[in-house]
Every structure is written in structure tokens, then in C-alpha cells.
Amino acid sequence: MPFPREQLETVVNEKLCKIETIKLRNKYIGQACQLFYRSDPLKIVRGQGQYMYDEQGTRYLDCINNVAHVGHCHPKVVTAGSLQMATISTNNRFLHDELVQCAKTLTSKLPSLLSVCFFVNSGSEANDLALRLARNYTKRQDVITLDHAYHGHLTSVMEISPYKFNQPGGDPKPDYVHVAPCPDVYGGLYKDKDYQCSDMAEIYSIPIRGICERLKLQGKGVAAFIAESLQSCGGQIIPPAGYFKKVFEAIRSVGGVCIMDEVQVGFGRVGSHYWGFELQDVVPDIVTVAKPMGNGHPVGAVITTPEIANAFYNTGVTYFNTYGGNPVSCAIANAVMRVIDEECLQENARLVGDYLLKQCRELKYEFDIVGDVRGVGLFIGIELVKQRDSRDAATQFAHWVVNRMKEMHKILVSSDGPNDNVVKLKPPMCFSQENADEFLLAFRECLSMLKKQREGDNLPATNAAAITTTTNSSMELLSNKKQIFERRDHLIKSV
């Protein structure tokens, strides 16, 4: 662990108690800024690997932090950033090796046509620049996006994020933005139960072809289609096989370009591939990356074809981003990509993800509230429903589970989706099978409590003493798989 003495001193010398921190946040930080567990927020003072620790030293298993991609405070990433910061940090209008090495490594992980990089500071900036590149190349304005999509917090990308603009108080959708149905075959506009033995990729691509045809008749055409390779905020959506092939064909037939947003799922998270779009055997025109690229440090990139990049250059308007591609950011990104390879984290995502997905799906046979389990690699969603037949969202139950997992089991998960009833799992890539078993044990206890006390929708109190809160020392014992399942069986019998 890097800087262990300094870390301990920081925790010991914590200057504010939690109540004082909350008071100052309420006074000086905008109330619109999201806070996890707002009624009882966590004060996290340090992290290591797949764990985070609060000011009292309580350890939490982090199942949601896809930003800390290779693990919180990975020693090699911390060292790379620290050494570069102690050497020089300036902008990319000067030559430096970390920039070109980062671009070389990044493009080596992508299809050969995607060979030109622009470095930015965040996913929002990446998607903003991607739109700019697409509109400059096509000389068009109209963009097709998917319902429930989220592409960032800048004005330009809020306009293409129904996840935001469809909320009460959201800005109206501009006329040049066109929303197609999210390809959610379980709970979306077109459900697989209503289209049995049908090609769901074809069904969900028809609306996009319709938008393209209308815009062509209007003499507008399409500038770009943008989508997350796997939609996260929309509820951990896995598009049906062949969907993006059909969509790309429709978009390109009217002269548009295809943008794949890999901000949530890139860098090996899907296990079988380095990028989420590779699951569908397509090659986008533009790819955007960020969050996991910096393991918590703000860095992102846009990767595109020489043709699109040259069209941007030919405008005569130079592109400059003060911090994008600075030596420290690039050193950190290079370290992250090295760690992914050296520690075989993509393969770990495949193995642990397959195991976790299989075990979660088996819960469907025991608990009717589990409507659907979907995912790939370490990207998994568990959709909770009131009734299997109707698939009505069990939003209240999902919120209860999220809070109980935190308070009783010291495990951090979140909920999302159009109805906020999908329990999301996107842990750091060092997440182990023992961690998966720990999650499964706790999640099963929550579902067992719901099964027992669900009648009349009466939820048990989150802090009910149904189980004894597990201490740090006993959590270490749970790393033994046999003990985990013995404890699980005991819980099932006692609940």
C-alpha cells in the first residue's frame, strides 16, 4: 500500500466529525448535488481495492464503484500519478511521452480504423466533443438517442440524455434530438413476452429506421446516433444480439455517424471483450471513454477515424483543452491499462461475472420478487418486480434492499432504471468470487426478509435485528466459501 503512514495520519487527524461535515455540506454545497444515502450518508475517508472505510473504520464492500476500475488507490496507479506530478504537469501543447504512449496503447485496444485520439477530462466532455466531430463531418444537426440514456452533464449532452430531461423540471427536448425506444426486452416498450419467437433486434431497430426515413424526407438527414454500449442508468440493459448492426446500417444509409459511449463499461468490464460494443460485432465511427480510464482521476478521450479527425482539422479551428492529455492524467491512464493486463482483470471480470450472474439467476427460482437478472462480466442488474406476470416495478422494495445492504451488511449497491427498481452491480475489477459470495449471502437475507414480511407491502424496518451486524473480524471468516454457505443455510432457516 502506498503512503501507509500518511494515510493513517489523515484518518486519525480527521478534523471534522460527521455531523459537522454534513452541516458544512448543507451550507456550502448545492442541494442539487447528488448524495448517496441522503437520509444517513456515509463519510468515506479511505479506500483500498474493492473496499471503502468510513470515519469510524467500518469497512464496506464496494459493489457500485466502476470509477475505481482496478481498485481504490491501486499502488501502481498512485505511484505513476505521484511521480509524474512531482516531475511536471503541463498541457499537451508541449511534447511529452505519456500522451503519445497513452494514445498508442488506447488505439491498440480498438479496431484499426479507430486510430486518432482527442484527450479530455470527463465523459461529459468526451461526448460533447464526439457530437461536435459528428456534426462537423456530416454538416448536419439532428441526433438520435435512446430513451433513458445518460451521456453527461454539459448542456449539449443533457439535450441527448432522456434520463435527465424527462425528469420533472428538466429542460424540453430540442427538435433536433430524436428519441428511440431503449432496447430493453424485459421491461421496455416492446417486451419479449409479447413478441415470442420474434427477432427483438429487428423490432427495436424499426423505430430508428423510421426516424431516419422521416429526416431524409425532410432534407435533414442524421448527424449521429449515440448510445451506451450497455445502458447503465437505464437499468443495466443488454441489447438483443444484432441490434447495433441493424441500427448502424440504418444510420449510415442516411449519411450519419455512429457514436458508442463506453464511459461506463469500457476497459474490460464485460469480460469477454475489452469494449462493450464488441459484444455486438460492430465498429463505431467514434468511441468515447472516461471514468475507468483514470481509476478516479479525471481523464477521458474521444477516439475516431482519420477521415473524421481530418475533417475537423480542415475547419482551421484548432482544438485545445488545458488539462486534457496532461502528463499526470496520461501517466495514470497508462498505469490503469497496464494493471488491467498485468493482473488479468478482464479475465477476472469474465470468471467472477459468470459465477455471480449464474448464482443471481438461481435466486429467481426461490424469490418471486426477482423478475429478471441480466448482465455480462462485472456489469449486472437484478430487476425487482411485484408480480412476475405483470412485471410491475417493485421500486419501494429495491430502495429498501439498497439501504439494508448498507446498514446491516456493510455492502454498497445502488438502484436505477426508469422505475428505479433495478439493483445495480458494477464493482471494481478486482472483485473476487469470495466478494461475490459475500454479496449473495447478504442479498439472499434481504430477499428472505421481504418474502416473509411482504404481505400488504409492509416492509420490515431496515435496522431490524433479524441478524447480528457482522463485525470486521467475522467478515474475514466469511472469505471461506464453505462457511459462507453454512451461514446462508442458517439464515434461510431462521428467517
pTM of the model: 0.90
pLDDT band at residue 5 using 50, 70 and 90 as cut-offs: low
Q: CB atoms < 10 A from the CB of 11, how many?
A: 14
Cα separations in angstroms, 237 against 71, 80, 230, 354, 362? 24, 35, 6, 17, 19
Q: What is the dihedral of CA 204, 210, 211, 215, to 10 degrees?
A: 160
455 phi and psi, to 5 degrees?
-55, 125
Residue 159: burial class (beta carbons within 10 Å; 0-12, 13-18, 19+): buried
Instruction: Check residue 476 and give its pLDDT.
Output: 45
> How far from the centroid of its chain's Cα atoms is residue 405's Cα?
20
With a cut of 80, say whether residue 174 has pLDDT above it.
yes
Residue 267 near residue 274 (C-beta atoms within 8 A): yes
Instruction: Check residue 166 and give its pLDDT.
Output: 85
pLDDT digits (tens, 9 = 90+) for 194-222: 999 899 999 999 999 999 999 999 999 99
Best CA proximity match to 431, nearest among 471, 470, 379: 379
Average pLDDT over residues 473-484: 44
Strand order in the sheet with 422-425: 370-375, 380-384, 422-425, 414-416
pLDDT digits (tens, 9 = 90+) for 370-400: 999 999 999 999 999 999 999 999 999 999 9
- What's the CA gap between 68 and 339, in Å, rounded? 12
pLDDT band at residue 4 using 50, 70 and 90 as cut-offs: low
Residue 408 near residue 467 (C-beta atoms within 8 A): yes
Q: Cβ neighbours of residue 460 under 8 Å, at least 6 residues apart?
A: 449, 450, 452, 453, 466
With a cut of 80, say whether residue 459 has pLDDT above it.
no
Average pLDDT over residues 443-471: 66
Instruction: Check residue 340 and give its pLDDT.
Output: 98
DSSP β-ladder status, 177-180 and 143-146: parallel
pLDDT digits (tens, 9 = 90+) for 250-301: 999 999 999 999 999 999 999 999 999 999 999 999 999 999 999 999 999 9
Instruction: Check residue 374 and give its pLDDT.
Output: 97
The residue length of the chain stands at 495
Instruction: Check residue 37 and give its pLDDT.
Output: 87
Instruction: Check residue 492 and give its pLDDT.
Output: 37
Residue 425 near residue 50 (C-beta atoms within 8 A): no
pLDDT digits (tens, 9 = 90+) for 57-66: 999 999 999 9
| Percentage of the chain lying above the pLDDT 90 cut | 82
Domains and CATH numbers, the chain: 15-72+345-455 (3.90.1150.10), 88-343 (3.40.640.10)
- What's the CA gap between 150 and 147, in Å, rounded? 9
Which amino acid is present at 187?
G
Best CA proximity match to 269, nearest among 395, 381, 125, 380: 380
Average pLDDT over residues 413-433: 97
Angle among Cα 345, 380, 361 to the nearest 5 degrees reads 115
Query: What's the half-sphere exposure (Cβ side, CA atoms, 13 Å) at 258?
Result: 21
Average pLDDT score, the chain: 90
DSSP state of 372: E
Residue 461: burial class (beta carbons within 10 Å; 0-12, 13-18, 19+): exposed
Q: Cβ neighbours of residue 59 under 8 Å, at least 6 residues apart?
A: 51, 52, 53, 410, 472, 475
Residue 412 near residue 41 (C-beta atoms within 8 A): no
Instruction: Check residue 9 and give its pLDDT.
Output: 63
Instruction: Check residue 328 and give its pLDDT.
Output: 98
DSSP state of 419: T
Average pLDDT over residues 155-171: 89
Instruction: Check residue 484 and give its pLDDT.
Output: 46
Best CA proximity match to 436, nearest among 367, 494, 363: 363
Instruction: Check residue 36 and give its pLDDT.
Output: 85
Instruction: Check residue 12 and give its pLDDT.
Output: 53
